[in-house]
Structure 1
Amino acid sequence: MAEKQHLYLVDGSAYIFRAYHRLPPLTDPEGTPVGAVYGYTTMLWKLAEDLDKAEGPTHLGVILDKSSHSFRNDIFPEYKANRPPPPEDLVPQFPLIRDATRAFSLECIEEQGLEADDLIASYARAAAAQNWDVTIVSSDKDLMQLIGEGSESIGKIDMLDTMKNQRISIPEVAEKFGVAPELVGDVLALMGDSVDNIPGIYGVGPKTATKLIQEHGSLTAALDSAADMKKSKLKERLLEHRADAELSRILVTLKEDCDLPVPIESFKLDGVPPEPLATFLTKHGFTSLLRRLDTGSGSPERTTNLNPAKAITAGVAGTEKGNRQASPEMTPIDRSAYECVQDRETLDRWISKCFAARVIAVDTETSALDAMQADLVGISLATGPNEACYIPLAHGGSDMFTEKPKQIDREEALEALRPLLASDAVLKIGQNIKYDLNVLARYNTPISPIDDTMIISFDLDAGRGEAGIGGGHGMDELSVRHLGHSPLSFKDVCGTGKKQIPFGEVPLDRATEYAAEDADVTWRLHSLLKPRLPIEGGTKVYERVDRPLVPVVAQMERHGIKVDRAQLSRLSEEFATTMGTLETQIHEDAGQEFSIGSPKQLGEILFDKLGYKGGRKGKSGQYSTDLTMLEKLAEQGAGIATRVLEWRQLAKLKSTYTDALQAAINPNTGRVHTSYSLVGAQTGRLSSTDPNLQNIPIRTEIGRQIREAFVADEGNVLLAADYSQIELRLAAHMADVPSLKEAFEQGEDIHSRTAREMYGEVNRETRAQAKTINFAILYGISRWGLAGRLGVEADEAQAMIDRYFERFPGIQRYIAETLETVRERGYSETLFGRKTWFPRINSKNQAERQGSERAAINAPIQGTCADIIKRAMVRMMPALDTAGLGHVRMLLQVHDELVFELPEGDVEAATSIIRNVMAKAAEPAVKLDVPLGIEIGSGTSWGAAH
């Protein structure tokens, strides 16, 4: 019997935008933007590899949109009118993406006046009519109309969502829409689509649309039924907007009878010639992808146009503009090469191998994400590409009768590993190694010296990538970006939802593939990223600031801080009582009860019922009730808005702190252990999670009450040391403003000095305005933004800005020079060499550009502030230890403040050491023209220390 033909149709247009947003901007040797081209190429290649490992297509084609105009615009001119134009740097990449497709010897199909979906529909129906199976590679809901099981003479049509790695057949369509594929268009016609500007029927959402089609069987029947409905908003909408729904049905209907520009048979996969692919990859500087093209002898069991040979997962190459360096030659990742270490003899062999390698990657597998409570399940090591192992330590079911696999006793294995992990002769690499430090510290197993690929990536490329795990610097993202390889995910081996199993129950062969691959990938990333540090100026900030901070922060996390559960419980009750009172008052204001936490209901009360002016609806048809809107209403005298703002603040503080902190108390230590991220804030500041301690209100009574719940152990006190106005001090130095430097040198109140300079007098009002302006200017505030903060007209605010720059011309010069430099180089830089990239600084999109400009103005100052406090943290414990105060514990870092716990009798001695370390933290690398002021207080609670 002849081989069953299977056609894969790739929705290339969707790939383009995914690729664009997935990678930071890159340029080829000629300076042409190619970030989307590179991402598109790697995604297409990965698709082929995945298909090759599965059943594989016999035919494959890529379908693209020819232009933004189609026959639907002739029917409805507003079709897709809401879509913004493509980003400026993406436009020149469109023809290159077509070149990339053809370079793979793939058919690239597009037709004027037709959308990619129409061509996909026509090819799918034509192939299915020839009894071919068809898979559409897309997640587009419109294409789900085509799905069908087929028959003896008609081929099956399904979809493949590569984002979720999910096959979509009739059951998945039914789960999503509640109807069969042939009725999906009817549901879409009722609900409309704001993205494509398909009107639908206003107020009819997915659930209502599905219910109507389920009950009546078709769009026409559902619309006809309106006449017999009881009086309701739904009836009115169905009757009034029937024409919109019928128009929408036409717009969502796929054209399935298009002329086929290229015969289906031309899509056949017959292997890829090395040309023109090699020429294309060479031209655009895609060296790592070029290595994947095997032009020598030998071939895999099955080759396709996109999979000429098993992939060589090497790093991204490029130019200095693209900020990518060529990676060392590496063999392809081969999970079958990894070894599972189940006996002492094998472990000793690996330990000897690691000592000989001198540079190894280390990763731990645990039972949970919380490093302070997770059990150690296993350890993986890597000494080079594919030279990796996994050492299971606690595998097997939780049932005492479950047979455990063969593995070394955990304590015996750790005893053997401790000399290696502590040896100064062997560098240990980790991806977010702080987690591994904390897990192993609980098993009395220190690790040193260390390197961290996540932090190296951050110090090289902060701001360049998309946000995500680790702020865009997670291992999976880095692997895809630099190695062109997607590692196994946790859900791949443990499952999801109710079927998810603990990692300790994963079979050892699968666990070895997953865990050892993490170590292998980390080793490869280190060999690629670490050499970039000296080339790109990242060594200074990595070696002097960030790398030595990792064990310091890890120790702070292990210390944790004690909280008074009773105090938190009392606060929760007080907040709940006050919220109840406010709720009663708000309902009285509204004249009815409603859900205050519902933006929809609140908007209807404020603007429809009470008639306040200025209400604006979003695309969902719902009024905005955000902070800005409520503050505007409050300023206009709307008491209900003032009370809602107070209610919201209490609700947030209650859920985020007074309730959550009680739940966060570690049952083993009785303390709260926050987790600090060294890559969570673009400028280099530490960020805090689980729980987040950064957002406790600073200067409010409620904030003070919450801080009162953070307490010292009996016999101890908490000491809070806070840099005073450090950003203004750094601005005076970096912008070289003599009057501000003089004021700080003399210990003068800086806001009073600014008020005197601007207004000629100092009083409560002028000082308050000066304080607002001092900080606002450093954040690149606009005239409208300042006007909003001060409650004045925009022209008056602009006059204040002009006067400020007139009195402090150095600030204006600093801002202008900073923006000019960032526009030219693409990044800002702190006094310690920390780079923050701003890829949208020259965007033609005004909002993008202005947002980047505001951030760029402040980044060097805020980043330098972050660097200074990090340097203080690194030096603090050695200084205290030298002074005989090694028992003092550094617990928290919040904004510009450090919190310590120590015996009350040591406060005076520790204060002197802490003040000195913080004051001189910038030296000797940077000599500041202004002194760093430090305010220190102590007390039995964090609140009392202020």
Structure 2
Amino acid sequence: MSFGKGHNLHLIDGSAFIFRAYHALPPLTRKSDGLPIGAVAGFCNMLWKYVTDEKGSDAPTHAAVIFDHSSKTFRNDIYPEYKANRPELPEDLRPQFPLTREATRAFNIACIETEGYEADDIIAALSCKARDAGGRVTIISSDKDLMQLVGGGVEMLDPIKGKPIGPEEVEEKFGVGPERVIDVQALAGDSVDNVPGAPGIGIKTAALLINEYGDLENLLANAEQIKQPKRRQTLIDNADLIRISKSLVTLDCDTPLDFTLESLEVRDPDAEALLGFLAQMEFRTLTGRVAEKLGAEAPVISATPVAPSAGGAGSAPAGAPDFPQIDRAAYQTISDAETLAAWIDDIREVGYVAIDTETTSLDEMQAELVGISLATRPGHAAYIPLAHVAGEADLFGGGALVEGQMDAEAVLAALKPVLEDDAILKILHNAKYDYKILARQLRDRGGIHLSPVDDTMLMSYALYAGAHNHGMDELAQNYLDHKPQPIKDLIGSGKSQISFAQVPVAEAAGYAAEDADVTLRLWEVFRPRLMSQAVTTAYQTLERPMIPVLAAMEREGILIDPQHLSRMSGAFAQKMAQFEDEAQELAGTKFNLGSPKQLGEILFEQMGLQGGAKGKSGAYSTSADVLEDLAAEGHNLPARVLDWRQLSKLKSTYTDALQTHVNPDTGRVHTSYSITGAQTGRLASTDPNLQNIPVRSEEGRRIREAFIAAPGKKLVSLDYSQIELRILAHVADITTLRQAFKDGIDIHAMTASEMFGVPVEGMDPMIRRQAKAINFGVIYGISGFGLSRNLRIPRAEAQAFIDTYFERFPGIREYMDKTVGDAKRDGFVRTLFGRRINTPNIDAKGPAAGGAKRAAINAPIQGAAADIIRRAMIRMPEAINGLPAKMLLQVHDELVFEVREDAVDDLIMAARAVMENAAEPAVKLSVPLVVDAGVGDNWAEAH
């Protein structure tokens, strides 16, 4: 019976199903052999849902699943750069593609692909044939590229939302009907598929133009009549490229088909074939559901989990096995050379070992090693006590070593060859801490330098940045359903807290060995997920290599002038007293400026100012935002309190605290960098925090004067110039911004000129300042309210500035909308370098919604900037090797070095070359990276 009126053809976008399944579901491997099958499992579940869903009058008479055959198609002959920017397929996804074809055939659904053509072309050809034959077509996909086919008996169905997509929905998305979608896409282009389009013209502008001129050819023929000069010139200059773009986005209804519509008639699944395939994949749950539905007997699925394999560095189970129960009492205590030797042999046989150190302090520069724990298999862990002491005094207060412990030097000497063996992977959690501790051991033999290393904290960060914290206890509960023993059970807390060295060995062993065991289990869970979630490259190139780089910087530290800080503390105290007197005079009463409760009562009750809001505590909020709003309205008291708070914070955080952080052995301050401190990849600095010293204030400059170079040396600062704006110009494809950066033009003046129509020469500094505030504010998704506060102008005026900005640079709004859309769809965003930043609150309602969207918009930009400086830092040690120089500090976009006076120029040349080329070869930016250099006897002079 021929296909015609009354027939309904369903066309399933198979490639979309695969990628949806891959990204939406956790990774899964077949236990019998470790084959990746997560995407296949999701694909089968989606097909089963499709097959079993009630469709009523929409039930298909004919159906097919359509796949892409390969990446190269006829479009590459038209435009070789087509889809050139597409990332490589994840390693674990590639072998799953043929399995999805097998799955389709197992479900007894036609499986179609054609060499040289995309799935969309096959869908177009089938849709046209079915429509011309008088039948109906339902395309099961939400792909925007297929929306040009809608109408005349063809509709789409969003498989996730279950909502039909007809002409109205298409017009809502594109601003034109389906018949003009191609014209809009040709103008707007597509950065994902590398369709060029017209630079600076997005979907909204393209729709306006097509609606005004009727179609693309008429628009191009009359481009000289367009009043807006920039838009007119863009269309004239890029007419040929726009026509090429149209040929790229137009689906080919004449795609050759070697089958008939009749051959796609719906067929019931064959129970034996389908159940056989599902059993082969070891899909136990789905196999049971299918067997029950089809009235067949479910086949027995028997699979032996893969065990950890022996061999080279990092060998690991392909699929995470069922772990044995954690039993702290079952762990070993290593107290003799024979047992230690047996463990070392086991480590060499397995090829990897999880390690954890126990120490007397969290300060890696002064902590002393108490013991080491090892694990080679889940449940097989041990503790080597080295410096436990008897009595109340710890070892370094004169206590005597507990008997039964081996000589620490002998143990470390025995472990050193294993820990430094490149063929044996060392697995740690927060590896930088242990790396620094072990580097201080056996100093007469050069220390112990771990290599190679996997860090489960950094693995978690690569996978789940923004989703949760990455401490071991939280990860153990989230991914192992296990709560490790708290350290305070052993050492207590507060004034009664003891050193770990005082903990009895028997108690310490269970706690310490558990840490190594948990670390190994987390590694087995996370390692396959790195590949399945496409973050292996980010982890291996941006996270793990930072460990030795930061450890070296932290060990080096930076020299401090404590007298300078002491003088500043005194000056700050005097100035704070002056602010306090002025504030109390303005209030008409004495009060404690450090008391939010007293301040709130004075502002909102005694003085009757507007904007008071009480929190759960019953006290008025006097946060910085509240006080800044009041100060912007011209109220002097909140402005004075803000001045007092700023100095108070600088005094307590820096001028007072830095003096206490000077290491007595080195005379230097040794900050500690957290690689996972910010979800975007920015480093965080703690104990002390050196990254939040005000950059532009006089007080901040004076604090930087306390950071000095050693005699005969200079401090050199190298700082990326406007790196986030440059990344924005690249990712949002803003032609004017890109060209301005290439030409070395003052970007803020150029923006002001574009926005306000004023010449760059002789520009009013206030206008440039407003443009600068918008330039930087847009990166963070600033609102009219936020800009009004920053510039202290009316909100309506600030919003008008932002509206004008987006009108002049439409690509930025499109970037923002796309980024938020991607975050909502995927639950994460990515940087140019593959860093994944999760956005768990992107669908939040109420006040949190705006913040979540702004964070999602900023994350790929700030994250890319963080990635670039990380790449530079990782390459820097090799680049400056041989120079009398050390890298000391990283502060956001700045690196600070200490270098011998006669080598300053050589250092600047070498370091600048690394920093300005750090994005390559991974990413070829369309704007140049520029690094400013400064030199001085102190940080303020260099910066």
Q: Name the residue aligned to 1:417.
A: 415
Query: Aligned match of 2:326 in 324, 329, 333?
Result: 333
Q: Name the residue aligned to 2:384.
A: 391
Distance 1:914-1:490 versus aligned 2 partners, 3 A rule:
same
Q: Name the residue aligned to 2:633.
A: 636
State the alpha-carbon separation in 1 of the partners of residues 779 and 24 from structure 2. 33
Deviation at 1:790, TM superposition (A): 2.5
Q: Name the residue aligned to 1:438.
A: 436
Secondary structure of the residue that 2:384 maps to in structure 1?
A: strand
Q: Deviations along 1:379-401, whole A, 9 cap, x unmatched?
A: 11111112111111101133757
Distance 1:670-1:798 versus aligned 2 partners, 3 A rule:
same
Distance 1:633-1:784 versus aligned 2 partners, 3 A rule:
closer
Distance 1:282-1:703 versus aligned 2 partners, 3 A rule:
farther
Deviation at 1:629, TM superposition (A): 2.1
State the alpha-carbon separation in 2 of the partners of residues 614 and 911 from structure 1. 51
Q: Deviations along 1:458-510, whole A, 9 cap, x unmatched?
A: 10011122xxxxxx111111111111111111012222334432111111111
Query: Aligned match of 1:606 in 580, 603, 606?
Result: 603
What does 1:499-510 correspond to in 2, within 5 Å?
499-510=496-507
Secondary structure of the residue that 1:456 maps to in structure 2?
A: helix
Return the TM-score normalized by structure 1: 0.64
Give the letter aligned to residue 331 of structure 2. Answer: Y
| Paired residues of 1:495 and 1:501 also in contact (CA < 8 A) | yes
Q: Name the residue aligned to 1:763.
A: 764
Q: Name the residue aligned to 2:463.
A: 460
State the alpha-carbon separation in 2 of the partners of residues 722 and 32 from structure 1. 41
Give the letter aligned to residue 795 of structure 1. Answer: A
Distance 1:342-1:575 versus aligned 2 partners, 3 A rule:
same
Deviation at 1:534, TM superposition (A): 1.2
Q: Name the residue aligned to 1:685.
A: 682
Q: Deviations along 1:786-835, whole A, 9 cap, x unmatched?
A: 22223333333232222111111111111111111111111100001111
State the alpha-carbon separation in 1 of the partners of residues 603 and 660 from structure 2. 36
Secondary structure of the residue that 1:615 maps to in structure 2?
A: coil
Give the letter aligned to residue 745 of structure 2. Answer: E
Deviation at 1:283, TM superposition (A): 7.0
- Does 1:869 find its partner at 2:866? no
| Paired residues of 1:385 and 1:524 also in contact (CA < 8 A) | yes
Where do 5+ consecutive residues of structure 2 fail to align? 1-19, 27-282, 288-304, 308-317, 442-446
Quick one: percent identity of the two aligned structures? Answer: 53
Q: Deviations along 1:411-463, whole A, 9 cap, x unmatched?
A: 11111111111111111010001000111111121111111000001100111
Where do 5+ consecutive residues of structure 1 fail to align? 1-26, 34-280, 286-311, 315-324, 466-471
Distance 1:792-1:326 versus aligned 2 partners, 3 A rule:
farther
Give the letter aligned to residue 448 of structure 1. Answer: S
Structure 1 stretch displaced more, 412-421 or 861-870:
412-421
Q: Deviations along 1:877-933, whole A, 9 cap, x unmatched?
A: 10111xx31x31111100100001110111001100011000000100111010001
Q: Name the residue aligned to 2:797.
A: 796
Q: Name the residue aligned to 1:736.
A: 733
Q: Name the residue aligned to 2:45.
A: none
Q: Name the residue aligned to 1:514.
A: 511
| Paired residues of 2:388 and 2:401 also in contact (CA < 8 A) | no
State the alpha-carbon separation in 2 of the partners of residues 934 and 639 from structure 1. 40
| Paired residues of 1:28 and 1:284 also in contact (CA < 8 A) | no
Query: Aligned match of 2:404 in 399, 403, 406?
Result: 406
Give the letter aligned to residue 846 of structure 1. Answer: G
| Paired residues of 2:389 and 2:399 also in contact (CA < 8 A) | no
Give the letter aligned to residue 822 of structure 2. Answer: T
What does 1:164-203 correspond to in 2, within 5 Å?
none
| Paired residues of 1:364 and 1:380 also in contact (CA < 8 A) | yes
Q: Deviations along 1:171-230, whole A, 9 cap, x unmatched?
A: xxxxxxxxxxxxxxxxxxxxxxxxxxxxxxxxxxxxxxxxxxxxxxxxxxxxxxxxxxxx
| Paired residues of 1:29 and 1:284 also in contact (CA < 8 A) | no
Distance 1:564-1:758 versus aligned 2 partners, 3 A rule:
same
| Paired residues of 2:319 and 2:528 also in contact (CA < 8 A) | no
What does 1:835-914 correspond to in 2, within 5 Å?
835-843=836-844, 845-881=845-881, 884-885=882-883, 887-914=884-911
Deviation at 1:402, TM superposition (A): 4.8
State the alpha-carbon separation in 2 of the partners of residues 943 and 450 from structure 1. 37
Give the letter aligned to residue 840 of structure 1. Answer: N
Q: Name the residue aligned to 1:81.
A: none
| Paired residues of 1:377 and 1:395 also in contact (CA < 8 A) | yes
What does 1:298-337 correspond to in 2, within 5 Å?
327-337=320-330
Secondary structure of the residue that 1:531 maps to in structure 2?
A: helix
Secondary structure of the residue that 2:818 maps to in structure 1?
A: helix
Give the letter aligned to residue 380 of structure 1. Answer: S
Q: Name the residue aligned to 1:486.
A: 483
State the alpha-carbon separation in 1 of the partners of residues 666 and 430 from structure 2. 24
Q: Name the residue aligned to 1:569.
A: 566
Q: Name the residue aligned to 1:654.
A: 651
- Does 1:375 find its partner at 2:368? yes
What does 1:614-625 correspond to in 2, within 5 Å?
614-625=611-622
Q: Name the residue aligned to 2:779.
A: 778
| Paired residues of 1:869 and 1:921 also in contact (CA < 8 A) | yes
Q: Name the residue aligned to 1:349.
A: 342
Give the letter aligned to residue 505 of structure 1. Answer: Q
Deviation at 1:865, TM superposition (A): 0.4
Distance 1:821-1:588 versus aligned 2 partners, 3 A rule:
same
State the alpha-carbon separation in 1 of the partners of residues 284 and 594 from structure 2. 57
Q: Deviations along 1:101-144, whole A, 9 cap, x unmatched?
A: xxxxxxxxxxxxxxxxxxxxxxxxxxxxxxxxxxxxxxxxxxxx
Distance 1:284-1:332 versus aligned 2 partners, 3 A rule:
farther
Secondary structure of the residue that 1:619 maps to in structure 2?
A: coil
Query: Aligned match of 1:747 in 744, 749, 754?
Result: 744
State the alpha-carbon separation in 1 of the partners of residues 24 and 702 from structure 2. 56
RMSD of aligned C-alpha atoms?
A: 2.4
Distance 1:31-1:633 versus aligned 2 partners, 3 A rule:
closer
Give the letter aligned to residue 344 of structure 2. Answer: I
Query: Aligned match of 2:526 in 526, 529, 538?
Result: 529
Distance 1:739-1:690 versus aligned 2 partners, 3 A rule:
same
- Does 1:358 find its partner at 2:351? yes
Distance 1:783-1:439 versus aligned 2 partners, 3 A rule:
same
Distance 1:724-1:570 versus aligned 2 partners, 3 A rule:
same
Structure 1 stretch displaced more, 501-510 or 614-623:
614-623
Give the letter aligned to residue 483 of structure 1. Answer: L
Give the letter aligned to residue 848 of structure 1. Answer: A
Q: Name the residue aligned to 2:452.
A: 449
Q: Name the residue aligned to 1:266.
A: none
State the alpha-carbon separation in 2 of the partners of residues 584 and 857 from structure 1. 44
Query: Aligned match of 2:916 in 903, 915, 919?
Result: 919
| Paired residues of 2:673 and 2:685 also in contact (CA < 8 A) | yes
State the alpha-carbon separation in 2 of the partners of residues 733 and 689 from structure 1. 33
State the alpha-carbon separation in 2 of the partners of residues 743 and 624 from structure 1. 44
Secondary structure of the residue that 1:458 maps to in structure 2?
A: helix
Q: Name the residue aligned to 2:244.
A: none
| Paired residues of 2:755 and 2:804 also in contact (CA < 8 A) | yes
| Paired residues of 1:826 and 1:839 also in contact (CA < 8 A) | yes
State the alpha-carbon separation in 1 of the partners of residues 914 and 539 from structure 2. 20
